[in-house]
């Protein structure tokens, strides 16, 4: 931990940083899963899904920045490499050999749903630890994830 004048107790900041680190890994994984879908989708809804998946990539990258910056604000250090994310992510492995739009919609909606669950757990954890700012950050992310889950699931018909 680096020194900071942040008034949250160090033991609280340490625990919150652990929660943030886990969600940072999930965010990186979600971003790359959405990119996998973006690159590989085919079918009659190609352009709509291709563009939607890219918006999810951009949003997941924004979530990563919010989370990483909060870690630094609390005096933490980051483990933001792909390898670190792969070790820590709670998301399921994305299927690598699919191309049909419906298959990607199913796979990416599952990833978004699991990510949303983890983010909401992060809200509760941060709140229980007394860090309202981190809980608020996770709430912002949760709203965005729920929106994209809705957008992706709308393609299921």
pLDDT tens, position by position, 12-65: 999 999 999 999 999 999 999 999 999 999 999 999 999 999 999 999 999 999
Residue 31 · residue 61 · CB < 8 Å: yes
The confidence score (pLDDT) of residue 151 equals: 98
pLDDT greater than 80 at residue 157: no
**What are the φ/ψ torsions at residue 100 (nearest 5 degrees)?**
-60, 135
pLDDT greater than 80 at residue 141: yes
Q: Give the span between the Cα atoms of 18 and 51, in whole angstroms.
A: 33
Q: What structural domains and CATH numbers belong to the chain?
A: 10-156 (1.20.1260.10)
| Tokens describing residue 155 | 């393609």
pLDDT tens, position by position, 81-136: 999 999 999 999 999 999 999 999 999 999 999 999 999 999 999 999 999 999 99
- Provide the whole-model pTM: 0.96
Residue 18 · residue 118 · CB < 8 Å: no
Q: Which residue has the tokens 């990416």?
A: 108
């Amino acid at each position: 931990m680096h020194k900071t004048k942040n008034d949250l107790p160090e033991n609280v900041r340490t625990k919150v940083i652990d929660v943030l680190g886990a969600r940072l890994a999930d965010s990186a994984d979600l971003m790359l899963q959405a990119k996998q879908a973006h690159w590989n989708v085919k079918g009659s809804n190609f352009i709509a899904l291709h563009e939607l998946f890219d918006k999810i990539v951009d949003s997941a990258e924004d979530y990563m920045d919010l989370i990483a910056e909060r870690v630094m604000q609390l005096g933490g250090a980051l483990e933001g490499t792909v390898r670190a994310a792969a070790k820590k992510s709670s998301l399921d492995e994305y299927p690598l050999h699919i191309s049909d739009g419906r298959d990607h919609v199913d796979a990416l909606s599952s990833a978004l749903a699991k990510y949303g669950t983890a983010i909401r757990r992060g809200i509760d954890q941060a709140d229980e630890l007394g860090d309202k700012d981190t809980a608020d950050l996770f709430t912002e992310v949760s709203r965005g994830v729920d929106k994209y889950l809705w957008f992706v699931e709308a393609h299921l018909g």
